[in-house]
Amino acid sequence: MTTAGMTVRTRAVPATAKRPGLPGTLRSELTKIISVRSTYWTLLAFVAASIAWAILDCAGTKKKKSRTE
């Protein structure tokens, strides 16, 4: 293969002889997770659900206690 006679273009992003490998992939996955709204909605729903569960649990315990008295 020859590129003779063709002017060499200055590259905005130089070619590398090294793979970006696992760190690059992990950084990309992290960006994917934090860059969509659904991540935050899911977290919020999780927090709300655990508080709701705690309230229900407490209410149940209180009822049980008052019955044994």
Partner 1 sequence: MIEARGLSKRYGDKLAVDDLSFTVRPGRVTGFLGPNGAGKTTTMRMILGLDRPTAGSVTVNGQPFAGLYSPMREVGALLDAKAVHGGRSAYNHLRCLAETNGIPRRRVGEVIGIVGLEDVAGKRSKGFSLGMSQRLGIAAALLGDPDVLMFDEPVNGLDPEGIRWIRLLMRSLAAEGRTVFVSSHLMSEMENTADHLIVIGRGKLIADCPIAEFTGDGTAQAATVKTPDDQRLAAVVTGAGGRLERGEAGELTARGLTAEQVGQLALDHGILLHYLAPVRVSLEEAFMELTADSVEYQAKTGVQK
Closer by beta carbon to partner 1, 15 or else 63: 15
- State the sign of the Cα–Cα–Cα–Cα dihedral 21, 23, 26, 30: negative
User: How far apart are CB 44 and partner 1 at their closest, in Å?
Assistant: 15
Q: What residues line the site for partner 1 (CB under 8 A)?
A: 1, 3, 6-9, 11-20, 24-25, 27-28, 31-32, 35-38
User: How far apart are CB 5 and partner 1 at their closest, in Å?
Assistant: 9
Contact criterion met (CB below 8 Å) for 33 and 39: yes
Question: What whole-number distance in Å separates Cα of residue 43 and Cα of residue 29?
Answer: 17
